[in-house]
A and B are shown apart, each in its own frame.
Chain A
Amino acid sequence: MKALKNYFDKIRPLFEEGGKYHWLHSVFDGFETFLFVPNTTSKSGVHIHDSRDSKRTMIIVVVALIPALLFGMYNVGLQHYMAIGQEVGFWTRFFYGFLAVLPQIVVSYVVGLGIEFTAAQMKGEEIAEGFLVTGLLIPMILPVDTPLWMIAVATAFAVIFAKEVFGGTGYNIFNVALIARAFLFFAYPSMMSGDRVFVRTGSALGMGRPEMVNGIAQTVDGFSGATPLGQLAITDAPHFASFGFTGVTGQPLTLSDMFWGFIPGSVGEVSTFAILLGAILLISTGVGSWKTMLSVFLGGLFTISIVNLFAANPIMEMPAHYHFLLGGFAFGAVFMATDPVTSARTEKGKWIHGFLIGLLAITIRIFNPGYPEGMMLAILLMNAFAPLIDFYVVDANIKRRLKRVEAKKEGNKK
């Protein structure tokens, strides 16, 4: 390590002002601070600093995402081999999923980080770590069959237009990963929903090849790749009680399948259990706000209880636990709604912000049959309103201060 440090010290002058590679100084700095804790010491103000920095914070979110990601990979393999009717072992399923998802992560990181590095370099700033999280989130909230070029385009669009034009990490109004998804959702709706995209029937980098007839991958009889929420949106069943969720081969899905995550869906959102593990890490380290998470669920519960009372069709009748286990509700509540930059920044505001996300997500799910998943739009909409919520919370403090002055003046008059 010492040798490496010395090497960095040796080549540093090349990247400093006037050096040959000065135009790469942000990149150099990025790599150096990634490898070593910077040795700069405080010049003003406090002489000692907390060990926590932006890198540590982001890495904790990444670690929190890992269970959901790993399970998501396994589930991609599981669904794939079920669909093509092949019996394989645990590791084969996982490895297939790994090969299917890895290219997406690589593309998202390469494109996003490339833009971040360039932007940092142009502004002469240090490289911010925010994209480490965003870059992992993007493939996790997309269907596994999303083409790589779409991921590249969406990532570039989101990073440039949702983040860099606002000034970079910390200044964005909307959650960057969700903007990437929203971009794809509105630009290529057929690739973002329906029953073809959530289960990959083709091979992943040559692995898991299905039987091909006339260039079409053969699936088992009764195959359907629709997500549970998608099935519910198009069902003819008169009541929720007479409706049953089915898996890719038509097998019935139980609540435990939904909790552990053996269902079709976007890569990261399927396993409520894995998301729960992430939530525990985020809350115990204080990186994610438990207030936001809890209030999203409260908002959802509130809405569902009301809708259940006036239920007229199966989706209106669906009880709360199904809503929480299915789709992106839990994932959004834990990893998206808690994004500190785009969420409300005051503590009271977080309660309101989260509650309204839950409320809107359920409302969109239930009353928009064309779009069974409401979490993305609910969060994006509330991102736009977060500053307004904060405004009113802070304004109460301001009013209190002004009132104090008024009271003083009146007291003086008397």
Chain B
Amino acid sequence: MADRIIIKKGLQIPLLGEPDEVFRGTVTSEFVKVCPEDFHGITPKVAVKVNDRVKAGSALFYEKRHPDMLFASPVSGVVTAIERGEKRRILNFTVQADKEIQYEDFGKKNVASLSPEEVKKSILDAGIWFLIKQRPYDVIANPDKAPRDIFVTGFDTAPLAPSYDLLLEGQEADLQTGLNALTKLTTGKVYLSISPKTTNKGLRDAKNVIITEFEGPHPAGNVGVHINHLAPVNRGETVWTLNALDVAIIGRLFNKGVVDLTRIVALTGSEVKQTGYYKMLIGTELKSIFQNNVTEGITLRYISGNPLTGTKIEENGVLRAYHSQITVIPEGIEVIEPLGWASLSPNRYSASCTYPQLKRNPHKKYRLDARIKGGQRAIIMSNEYDRVFPMDIFPEQLIKATIAFNIEKMENLGIYEVAPEDFALCEFVDTSKLELQKIVRTGLDMLRKEME
């Protein structure tokens, strides 16, 4: 029986649009786009030219400081465009997909017989190293620095998040292979966190890892919370983090010898008529699943990922690299809501008790739009962040130190243990409407520059 840790602080935002547990088919698109902006903290160097032919698994670009860290194309075909934005920053690589995907052959390998160096090289060469992230700084793991431990999350508690049990169905073998590969990469431990509700055998009975159950509201599924409860990151230490879905992709590489960046993706959100699960490659255009399937007549916000940490995309956007969820919510710019401060409407959702929720019942779900619903202020209320921040860290004090960029204070207060996503709920409940994730992201980036 796995150890169980109960998380009390947190918040499960009751949103409309949970995904139906129905598989609705495979989505393909003519063009597949990879956006380097998804990979925070790297400087992409182009490895292909327009009109080059690539296979699935061929490198599109690499990281400037680590030329061996390649980024794979999810699909085979012809590179039709490398779009650039301001200061020639690369916005995306567009690949016109073949009808039949051709895979770069990396050869099946038996992880058990490989040395740690060989495991590392296999993942780097295959261009899927980006699946491994690190703390501190919440960036793609630095392959030169051995991690103290590796943390794998086996569930997601974010609003409307898909169930990993479903996503991993039939991938149990790949998952175990991936976990085995990870155990080669660290001299420490590999931790796997699951929910008490987890039923997937691959997760529940995973071998060679330490399994811990985390019970409670979001952010109980955030890796930052797991690290903080199991083995906090100290100054000078590095840990790597992945989610189980990405571990399965790594497992696939060793079991099948190919880079197969296929994900099962949940289409969720209050504005989706028919929610459900789809199979698609990273970078697939999403037009086809939105067509005739979303509310008409109002401006919508399309999000790759969940409503707390996801990336805003356009209607013709693509599935971003790390996401297994697509959310559509109202943008809300058309709404006219007079005298909001005096409102007694039970449809205004608040985690606090400042709005009457006479009809409050645990099954009531809300349709939240993208409005901020207030002006930015200095931090006024206390104990707001703490209530949704289940770590042994003072979030408000850490945020203040980060705004001031007082490095010593940031270190003392635990900046190395956190990622922007850990502050997502704080940002949601914040009365002062501060952009906390952005503050933490900027702080981490500046700190990294200062330290490395």
**Chain A interfacial positions (CB closer than 8 Å to B):** 1-2, 5, 29, 33-57, 59-60, 126, 128-130, 167-171, 284-287, 289, 340-341, 343-347, 350, 390, 394, 397-398, 400-402, 404-405, 408
Contact = CB atoms under 8 A, between A and B. Distances in A.
Contact of A401 (B159, B353, B412, B437): B412
A404 B237 CA distance: 12
A1 B301 contact: no
B406 to A, nearest CB: 13
5 contacts: A39-B371, A45-B424, A47-B327, A52-B374, A55-B340
A285 B354 CA distance: 5
Contacts of B430: 50
B8 interface: no
A167 B378 contact: yes
A385 to B, nearest CB: 16
Interface of B: 13, 15, 159, 232, 234-236, 301, 303, 307-310, 312, 327, 329, 331-333, 335-343, 348-355, 368-383, 386, 392-394, 396-397, 412-414, 420, 424, 427-433, 435-438
Given A46-B437, A48-B308, A1 B235 contact: no
A287 B354 contact: yes
B415 to A, nearest CB: 11
A300 B355 CA distance: 33
A397 B428 contact: no
B382 to A, nearest CB: 4
Given A170-B432, A346-B394, A347-B383, A47 B377 contact: no
Given A39-B335, A45-B436, A45-B438, A60 B354 contact: yes
A130 B380 contact: yes
A279 B420 CA distance: 36
A46 B424 contact: yes
Contacts of B381: 57, 287, 340
Given A51-B350, A170-B432, A398-B413, A345 B374 contact: no
Given A40-B371, A41-B333, A400-B392, A49 B433 contact: yes
Contacts of B392: 397, 400
B344 to A, nearest CB: 11
A53 B374 contact: yes
A41 B433 CA distance: 11
Nearest to A63: B342
Given A42-B370, A45-B427, A45-B436, A286 B354 contact: yes
A43 to B, nearest CB: 8
Contacts of A400: 392
A285 B375 CA distance: 21
Given A37-B340, A59-B342, A394-B397, A52 B379 contact: no
Nearest to B335: A39
A37 B373 contact: yes
Contacts of A2: 336
A2 B176 CA distance: 59
Closest 7 CB pairs of A and B: A53-B374, A170-B378, A37-B340, A45-B437, A55-B341, A51-B348, A41-B370
Contact of A53 (B307, B342, B373, B438): B373
A54 B430 CA distance: 9
B340 to A, nearest CB: 4
B397 A38 contact: no
Nearest to B348: A51
A345 B383 CA distance: 7
A168 B427 CA distance: 22
Given A54-B432, A398-B412, A48 B329 contact: yes
Contacts of A49: 368, 371-374, 427-428, 433
Given A39-B333, A57-B354, A45 B435 contact: yes
A38 B308 contact: no
Contact of B309 (A46, A345, A405): A46
Contacts of A350: 382
Contacts of A343: 382
Given A52-B352, A52-B354, A57-B381, A39 B332 contact: yes
A394 B435 contact: no
The listed residue with most A CB atoms (<10 A of its CB), out of B232, B331, B371, B438, is B371
Contacts of A59: 341-342
A36 B431 contact: no
Contacts of B374: 33, 37-38, 49, 52-56
A346 B353 CA distance: 20
B357 to A, nearest CB: 11
In this complex, which of B159, B337, B343 has the most chain A Cβ atoms within 10 angstroms of its Cβ? B337
Contacts of A55: 340-341, 374
